[in-house]
Amino acid sequence: MIVIVVDSMTGLGKKFADKLGYPVFDIQHYQHDSKDEVFLITRSVNFGEITEPTKLFLTAYAKHVIGVAVSGNRSWGKTFGAAGDKIQLGYGIPLILKFEGLGFPHEVNQVKSWLAQRSPSK
C-alpha cells in the first residue's frame, strides 16, 4: 500500500502531500508496516543538504521508498531542491519532482499519475 511520508518544517510539503490522495504520515511519527511502499516528500537545508530527520529515515527505510519529491525555493539558485538530487544519487531513489511553494496543480497531478502507475487500483 502506498503511503506518503513527509518531512515538512513550514508546512508546504505537508500541504502538497495532503493533495495526493494517500495516507500521509509525519516523518517523526511514521511507524513502518511491511506492506508500505513509501513516497517521500522532503526539503533542503544548509545549501541543498538532506535534513537530519530525512537522513535518519532513509537509513532505516530507504529500500521501501519508491520515489521522492522535494519542496524548495528557487531563490536558493543552484541548490534549489538539491536534497532531492542527493537522495537520488546516494540512495538510488527516483526524484520525481522539485516544487516551490504549494506546487502547481499540474505538479500535483504529475505525482498522482506517477503513483497511480504503481497502484493501478487508485
Residues within the interface to ligand FMN (CB under 6 A): 8-13, 43-48, 71-73, 76, 79-82
Q: Residue 50's Cα: distance from chain center in Å?
A: 12
Give the nearer residue to ligand FMN in terms of CB position, either 33 or 47. Answer: 47
110: enclosing H helix or E strand: helix 105-118
Q: How far is the CB of 73 from ligand FMN (least distance, A)?
A: 4
Q: How far is the CB of 79 from ligand FMN (least distance, A)?
A: 4
CA distance 44 to 122: 30
Q: How far is the CB of 26 from ligand FMN (least distance, A)?
A: 11
Q: How far apart are the first and last CA of the chain?
A: 11
